[in-house]
A and B are shown apart, each in its own frame.
Chain A
Amino acid sequence: MTTRIVELRQGILKKNDELAHVLRDRYTQAGVLVLNLVSSPGSGKTAFLERTLRELTTTGAKAAALVGDLETDNDAKRLAASGAPVRQINTHGTCHLDAEMIGKHLDEWTARPLAGLDYLFIENVGNLVCPSSYDLGERIRVALLSVTEGEDKPLKYPTMFNSADAAVITKLDLAEPCEFQRDEALKNIREIRPGIEIFETSSKTGAGFDGWLAYLKQERAKR
């Protein structure tokens, strides 16, 4: 028997990366800004997205959302009340969305789901571990953390926070009862991801949404 070494030099997630590349092209062709929202479960992603979709729709922008959960279409129903097109992806156990799921759902949604869209928001499965490795073709990855989760969250999940382009602090209306240490949270986010855009928001009161929407508009203008 002879032994030989076969060089592969291949990404473990090569298949996902290739599909993500195709998606990225597809989004660019359609002129849509795509964002991937990641966070722990319960950080307020859906409420944040709900308000974002409502506000964007009010300004006349065209936004849609793909929302990932293991089970139920509760989030899609909530988001659909904003008037924006929303589609639920149920992973039935898989702890993250991947490019194959996104592609498949876009294909099954309508004939041309991205046509005329300004923004597509992908709400990932609540999980700060697995989604960090799975490129969905997005231009902007947004990591959310709520004031209830602790200021050291970014230090506990450096891989995810370092991979993000923007961070959103949510549930600001609860900052006082939670004794949220704002300066420490901002410092920790910036230690893990220098230069990141940070938005401090409350989906309940609307605090911080002007800045967030301005950012979206500014990013959308960059083709």
Chain B
Amino acid sequence: MPGLQHRNHKTPTRPGIYSERVMHELSICTSIVEAVAKSVAAYPGATVTKVSLRLGALSDIVEDSLRFCWELTTKDTPLESAELVVAAVPIVMRCDHCNADVTLESLQSFRCPLCHEPVNELLHGREMEIESIEIDDGKDEPAKKDA
């Protein structure tokens, strides 16, 4: 399968773990598709042109894998041509020492980048959200009247 060649360095290569990786994003895509289908049902005749997601760095979703699974999941469905937009949400934690909200640069150390004390209060970073969808309502523009 051609798509499998383009993996980023974060993706593990051992087969057992690999299949955990792809399955995770596959079940996430299924949930997205179900939620979008439910929302668009309120607009009969409309097609979805864009699905915008917010994914936190601690949501453990790898964007490449997600896009790969999105293609698989939406193929031959009305969502096939919808654009998937992903906004990455960084990890923001509260540092009581600095009395500030700080952004972590790495997942390898949960310490304030300013004072290096351990931080535990997560403010952002676990988001796994469908922020919005863009739809074409499928109705023709009213015919322009002559002036």
Q: Give me the interface of A with B, judged by CB distance under 8 Å.
A: 1-15, 94-95, 127, 129-130, 132-133, 155, 158-160, 162-163, 190-195
Which of B130, B131, B136 counts the most A-chain CB atoms under 10 A from its CB? B130
Closest to B23 in A: A95
| Neighbouring B residues of A130 by C-beta, 8 Å | 20, 23-24, 27
The A interface is mostly helix, strand or loop, or mixed, namely mixed
Interface residues of B in 106-128 (CB under 8 A from A): 107-111, 118-120, 128
- SS of B interface (majority): mixed
Q: A158-B108, A192-B110 are in contact. Are A5 and B132 (CB under 8 A)?
A: yes
Contact B134 A191 (CB under 8 A): no
Query: Is B60's CB under 8 angstroms from A132's CB?
Result: yes
Chain A min CB distance to B79 (Å)? 14
Report the Cα distance A13→B134, complex, angstroms: 20
Selected contact of A9 from candidates B60, B110, B131, B135, CB within 8 Å: B131
| A5 CA to B32 CA, complexed, in Å | 17
Q: How far does the Cβ of A136 sit from chain B's closest Cβ, in whole Å?
A: 15
Contact A194 B135 (CB under 8 A): no
Known: A4-B135, A129-B60. A194 touches B32 (CB 8 A): no
